[in-house]
Amino acid sequence: MTMNKFLPVTKKEMNQRGWQQPDFVYITGDAYVDHPSFGAAIITRVLEAKGFKVAVLSQPDWHSTADFVKFGKPRLAFLITSGNIDSMVAHYTVAKKKRSQDAYTAGGVIGKRPDRAVAVYSKLAKSAFPDVPVVIGGLEASLRRFAHYDYWDDCVKESILLESGANLLIFGMGENQIIEMAQRLDNGEKISELHDIKGTSYAVDVRETPYVGVECPSFDNVKNSKTEYAKASRIQQDEQDHIRGRVIKQKHGKMMVVQNPPMPPLTTEELDWVYSLDYARAYHPMYEKEGGVPGIQEVEFSITHNRGCFGACNFCSIAFHQGRFVTTRSKESIIEEAKKLTEMPNFKGYIHDIGGPTANFRKPSCEFQKEHGLCKGKKCLAPEPCKNLEADHSEYLDILRSVRSLPKVKKVFIRSGIRYDYLLEDRDETFFRELVSHHVSGQLKVAPEHCSAAVLDKMGKPHIEAYIEFSKRYFKYTGEINKEQYLVPYLMSSHPGSTLDDAIELALFLKKKHIRPEQVQDFYPTPGTISTTMYYTGLDPYTMQEVYCAKNPHDKALQRALLQYFNPKNKSLVEEALKKAKRFDLIGNGEKCLINAPQNNNYRSGGKKPENRGNKKKKGKRYEKR
């Protein structure tokens, strides 16, 4: 891979292109990977395609401004992102322990970006060139555009616009925002005049507050009142619709943070154009000596075919960032990208994914939303599918068939999440059967998350009956073709609403289904989600009813241990949890018992006498197998 396939990363490379000055310096907390699965690659290539000169400053040293002046003064603006994921999530586990690896850094090395990278980079860029506009975007900025609960500091922080000192914030998928902003700056407009671009947020003196839109509780109010925080959260979530969404305002002292309505999602034609740009589809050669960038391995031979997710789980940030409205690329565009993959020197015949936020969404969930937007305060699939839902996999199936028939393609897998509840609504079982026959790499990962109806309602997920029905049909179709394939369920412990009793219910479900998960994900309260609001406030923002939240590390450990009750290391925690819940009937040698009783102990008091039918040992799995 030659250097000139990439945008300049040094002043020397910039000068070799005949540039004396870049239009934009794009600063990212990730290593520089020019692949369309990386937001930095898309935004920089879009700007390049529109005729702008972009230099890439990847993982700069944040201890001084030296790296921030290496290209000289950008003509139009600094563009800043923390990278593909939030810098705090990149650095810390849910237990707030430092991670040992960073997949978006060469060699997986940790510590190449600062905590809260967007704010740190923005301040340094402002310090280096105070008169150059700073525009922030990407996931970290997008999810922090309002006052938000910060899990790592356990407090409510102000909008990242004010924390960073940036002039403009782009939220959501930013192609059209960045194009309009760049062209208007190029035409001589000042950054302070660009307050009418959809999909952006800005801050003004409260005396300049626009009259339109809706105002949510102020920073001071949400900081001092959890009820006010919950009210603000609901307003912010409800207005994230490009058709019916309104301007949202939030007062921060003498400043007013203003969010314009979301930018409409890219059309099929626009998406096709974005994915047709001349990506190198690789990490920059400068990382070769460190062994490359691990984050590209999963996506190098993957294709994104859609954006948006009307599933909108409460713990997921996609609805608040990307939106619920689903848009897709054309079949021709997808086929063209697949052909490019087959010509790459290290292609082995396997396309690892044709997916997106949810792999099997190829159209909006109903016709109504195309004119009126998605329903406010309702979900398309939970707690049960809407009667207006239109489930149709025919177009997606046609694409998969075409790609897998290409020369050099041995197999096409689907590794993005499959919404099995949506799949069950399709009366035509052809896609389901072909998914099992052609697109599973030995095991299919799906996300029931829990089995308790009360917990699933707080998650915004379908009830467990949908997973059970999906599982039955999955193994039925698998058996019919004489394949040995498995289901790997993603499970989450300690989500808001999950009590110790709910965790025990899930443990019993796993035992009954002979599922032994190797890993369990504790709920991670990241900014911008409904679930994080519940975690911080103890309130459901849509009902204002109280929600139990396990916050104490030991309480969370008890729930997590129950989901892996079979692990000898967890026995003492499981025993403690069962005693605390007065479930002595689950300690002993009965079929339903989760752990054996210690010798000479009697658990009849305070609970049912355990049934002693003999312990017929069944081989447990981390997955379901039939």
For the segment 135-166, what is each residue's pLDDT rounded down to a tens digit?
A: 999 999 999 999 999 999 999 999 999 999 99
Q: Which pLDDT belongs to residue 613?
A: 34
Residue of 122, 140, 132 lying closest to 65 (CA atoms): 122
Q: What is the pLDDT of residue 609?
A: 41
Position 599 confidence tier, pLDDT thresholds 50, 70, 90? low
Question: pLDDT tens, 316-337?
Answer: 999 999 999 999 999 999 999 9
Identify the pLDDT of residue 620.
43
**Residue 174 CB contacts under 8 Å (≥ 6 apart), including other chains:** 39, 43, 137, 199, 263
Average pLDDT, the chain: 94
Is 12:277 a contact under the CB 8 Å cutoff? no
Can you give the three-state secondary structure of 196-220, one letter per residue?
CCCCEEEEEEHHHCCCCCEECCCHH
**Average pLDDT, stretch 168-194?**
98
Average confidence (pLDDT) over 470-490: 95
The DSSP 8-state label assigned to residue 536 in this structure reads H
Chain centroid to CA 260: 22
Say whether 488 sits in a helix, a strand or coil. strand
> What's the pLDDT score for residue 625?
54
Give the mean model confidence (pLDDT) for residues 171-184. Answer: 97
Tokens of 181: 């902003």
Residue 154 is classified by DSSP as T
| pLDDT for res 600 | 56
Cα–Cα distances in angstroms (integers) from residue 340 to residues 278, 432, 569, in the given order:
11, 28, 48
* Per-residue DSSP letter, 595: B
Which residue is listed with tokens 């177009």?
Answer: 395
Query: Considering Cα of 197, then 198, then 200, then 201, what sign does the dihedral take?
Result: positive
3-state secondary structure (DSSP) of residue 191: helix
Write out pLDDT tens, residues 510-556.
Answer: 999 999 998 889 999 999 999 999 999 999 999 999 999 999 999 99
pLDDT of residue 284: 97
- Beta strands 411-412 and 350-351 are parallel
pLDDT score of 607: 41
- Would you state the pLDDT for residue 62? 98
Please report the beta strands in 349-396, taking only residues with DSSP state E, as ranges in sequence order. Answer: 350-351, 353-355
The sign one gets for the Cα dihedral 323, 326, 332, 334 is positive
> Tokens representing 197?
């671009």
Contact 419, 381 (CB under 8 A): yes
pLDDT above 60 (res 617)? no
How many Å apart are CA 525 and CA 233, to the nearest integer?
14
Percent of the chain at pLDDT > 70 equals 95
Would the pLDDT of 377 be above 60? yes
**Token pair recorded at residue 457:** 């309602």
Where residue 597 falls among pLDDT bands split at 50, 70, 90?
A: confident
Q: Reply yes or no on whether the pLDDT at 616 is more than 80.
A: no
pLDDT at 612: 37
Cis status of the peptide bond prior to 383, with omega within 30 of 0: yes
The predicted pLDDT at position 618 comes to 39
Residue with tokens 């002595």: 584
pLDDT at 110: 95
Q: Which amino acid is at 52?
A: F
pLDDT range class, residue 624, cuts 50, 70, 90 = low
